[in-house]
Amino acid sequence: MATNKKKVLFTDSMGKAGREILAARPDVEAISFPNMAQDEEYRAILKKHAPVHATILGGTRFRPAELDAAGGMQVVARVGVGYDAIDIPGMTSAKVPVMIAGTANSPSVAEHAMSFMLTLARKGPELSALVKEGRWGDRLKPAMVSNDMFEKTVLIIGFGRIGTRTAKRCLAMEMQVLVYDPYLKAETIKAAGCEPVTSLDDALPRADFVTVHCPKTSETVGMFGAKQFKAMKRTAYLVSTARGGIIDEKALHAALTDGTLPAAALDVFDREPPDPANPLFKLPNLIASPHIAGVTAEAMERMSAEAARNVLSVFDGTPRKENAINPEVFG
């Protein structure tokens, strides 16, 4: 049946807060779809409900083929801050804004990065296994003695919404914080109490922890490989809550196997969901989580509300340009 309502197709992973914001609008028809729907399945859903005026995505890809299937798309939003699954040039060419959830999950990702660093430094998995396996007497063996983060040096790659929050938490733990972000002025980094570094190669040998928070772009894909791992201290830990592909997984496997690095922690992978046979998963010195750093109960509600408000702002002619990846489409 024909309707004058704006149709919003939203991922079924969207939280209660966002659903309630959409439901409160009598001029909006909100329709959920499976979070992991992709390609033909998702396009079929779009065609079934066309014209679709907005979509709120989780992990679903969105490209010109999906845009055509929607038949009236006005805004593409994400319950999150990543947008590598969306064809930004294609959307920009079509004058369709792509909106992200701003700072809604930034504290959560920063906390996850900190939990990774703490778990690595304090040998969480090893000591837990020691107790459970009745090896209490091994607790003072050199391999089981953990490290402080106090007075250690951390190198933060990328100083945006998440990197800045990670820096605040590291400074609170009395760490020395180095920041590598070639797109920021040194004064901005210094004002946050951190030391700017202009050369990644020069900074890596200084760091006890390296935590990656930059976006995935053509410039950052493969940013960390064998060369970078060899430049790091033999005692340094690597953490990434950014995007898969920034770290060369084959090179990381080699570094963790041959002793170049003692351990690493990843929340993101080249392929998601990753193949369970991924060689990295056989290593005891890799900690992994399923791309969930920004997904806490609280963050999901904040991101869901932000995504819904982003969509409605476009419908209402008052777009929240600060949350748009391609604000130029607004003219």
61 is catalytic: no
Nearest Cα residue to 212 out of 181, 175, 174, 186: 181
> Quick check: helix, strand or coil at residue 325?
coil
Q: In the structure encoding, which two tokens stand for residue 135, read together?
A: 């090896």
Catalytic residue among 78, 165, 243, 302: 243
Catalytic residue among 291, 302, 306, 309: 291
Sheet of 237-240, strands arranged across: 195-196, 176-180, 153-157, 209-212, 237-240, 263-266, 286-288
At 227, which amino acid appears?
Answer: K
126 is catalytic: no
272 is catalytic: yes
Nearest Cα residue to 115 out of 261, 301, 294: 294
- Are residues 163 and 140 in contact, defined by beta-carbon separation less than 8 angstroms? no
Q: In the structure encoding, which two tokens stand for residue 161, read together?
A: 């919404």
Catalytic residue among 20, 40, 272, 298: 272
Q: Answer left, alpha or beta for residue 317, where phi above 0 means left and psi between -120 and 50 means alpha.
A: left
> Quick check: helix, strand or coil at residue 195?
strand
Residues involved in catalysis: 243, 272, 291
